Amino acid sequence: MIFAQKEAKRFVQWLEKYNHHSVYENVGFALLEWLVCDRGGERLDNYEVFLKLVIALLVTESGTLKVGTNVSLGEYMEITMPTNLAGWLPDKEDFYATLRFCKLRGEDFKDD
């Protein structure tokens, strides 16, 4: 669980520290993008670990998460943390599809 807590913190820092051009409908969409953009998919190797990360987020974060839009100017949008799992939690299929994309993307980087 400690690994999942560290990754949850890493996710929150990624949201706040970098400029995001996507408008995330909910935390689930942001998590899927984080798996690719911050290489979270390389560190999380199965859905059970991902679910532990989600639990860590729900336990440690409440209210809203800041999402950088223009960090150098102090511009942020917010994502409201959910109060239940319905409608936002990426399912197992979406998680593994994203991991497959991460793997392909990683192989593409090796060819560059």
Q: What is the 3-state secondary structure (H, E, C) of 3-53?
A: HHHHHHHHHHHHHHHCCCCCCCCCHHHHHHHHHHHCCHHHHCCCHHHHHHH
On whether the pTM is more than 0.85, the answer is: yes
Is 111 within the bounds of a domain?
no
**Position of tokens 């102090």?**
74
Is 65 within the bounds of a domain?
yes
Average pLDDT, the chain: 88
> What's the domain range around 96?
2-105
pLDDT reported for residue 40: 87
Is 112 within the bounds of a domain?
no
Is 13 within the bounds of a domain?
yes
Is 35 within the bounds of a domain?
yes
Query: d(Cα 45, Cα 40) in Å, to the nearest integer?
Result: 9
Is 110 within the bounds of a domain?
no
Is 56 within the bounds of a domain?
yes
Domain count, the chain: 1
Is 75 within the bounds of a domain?
yes
Query: d(Cα 109, Cα 24) in Å, to the nearest integer?
Result: 26
pLDDT reported for residue 80: 93
